[in-house]
Amino acid sequence: MAGWPISDRNLTIKVARPRVRSLWLLLAVGAVLAGCDSRQGTAQASVESQTWANTQAANSISGDPVRGRQIAQEKCSACHGLDGNGGPDPHVPKLAGQSLPYLYWEFRAFKEGVRKSDLMTPNATALAYDDITDVATYFSQQIRKPDVVKAQSRAAWGESLFYSRMPSCAMCHSSGGRRGMPMMGMMGGGMMGRGMIGSGAANVPRLEGQHAAYIVDQLNRFATGERRGTVMNRMAASLGEADKQAVADFLSSIP
């Protein structure tokens, strides 16, 4: 099937050419994304979840971490820390050691209006696509430092919930740190949001060592539907407040 190429300096993606009638439907409900050339705008006109997920398949991302560090120091360090291990607010996520595809596509989601944030949207919009590639590459290469958990019994309960719920969180989002469980990913991607690394799509975060407060906040956003994720919305809504905190405490303590 013929397709249109979407390219920046370090990323090339093939998007399948839809039928003419489907294309007009996408154009009717979508918006041309800022910063794209005319072919990019046409191919990515819709910001519906499935269309966004499709654009994330079969990509290759490679940036300059040295230049990325400079961008991080100027644009990101006040909130996320220069090494990506977080600033003063535990509701702001750690970026260190995060999956490169996840970082790249989340930055683009903020830039292109697919994901909303009063703070991140203007910052991401100000970045060129090459900047996004470089800063995502830099943060992905940093080492994440886990948090110290004081409520050990609650974290132990969170571990039990993480591995034993049906369906289990670990089925898609295992930390990889317990008896060889495979790393697949949970929050933010595919059936959980907009893609799954384990199945070849891009947008799945690593949660080991993430701030518990941030994990709880995002679970609440999924539970209310503020963040969209076919399975993640249902999973988050099924957790009580104590369970969310317990799972978050467990995940935040994993190296």
Domains 65-140 and 152-252 share a fold: yes
Tens of pLDDT, residue by residue over 217-247, are: 999 999 999 998 888 899 999 999 999 999 9
The pLDDT of residue 170 is: 77
Q: Tell me the pLDDT band of 187, cut-offs 50, 70 and 90.
A: very low
In the chain, domain spans: 3-54, 65-140, 152-252
Burial of 123 (0-12, 13-18, 19+ CB in 10 A): middle
The residue written with tokens 């090494």 in the block is 83
pTM of the model: 0.70
The residue written with tokens 């100027």 in the block is 74
Tens of pLDDT, residue by residue over 87-134, are: 889 999 999 999 999 999 999 999 999 998 999 999 999 999 999 999
CA angle 116, 102, 85 (to 5 degrees): 85
Share of the chain above pLDDT 70, in %: 64
Cα separation, 148 vs 24, whole angstroms:
52
pLDDT at 47 over 60: no
Cα separation, 223 vs 4, whole angstroms:
36
Q: Tell me the pLDDT band of 30, cut-offs 50, 70 and 90.
A: very low
What kind of fold does domain 152-252 have according to CATH? Answer: Cytochrome Bc1 Complex; Chain D, domain 2 (1.10.760)
What kind of fold does domain 65-140 have according to CATH? Answer: Cytochrome Bc1 Complex; Chain D, domain 2 (1.10.760)
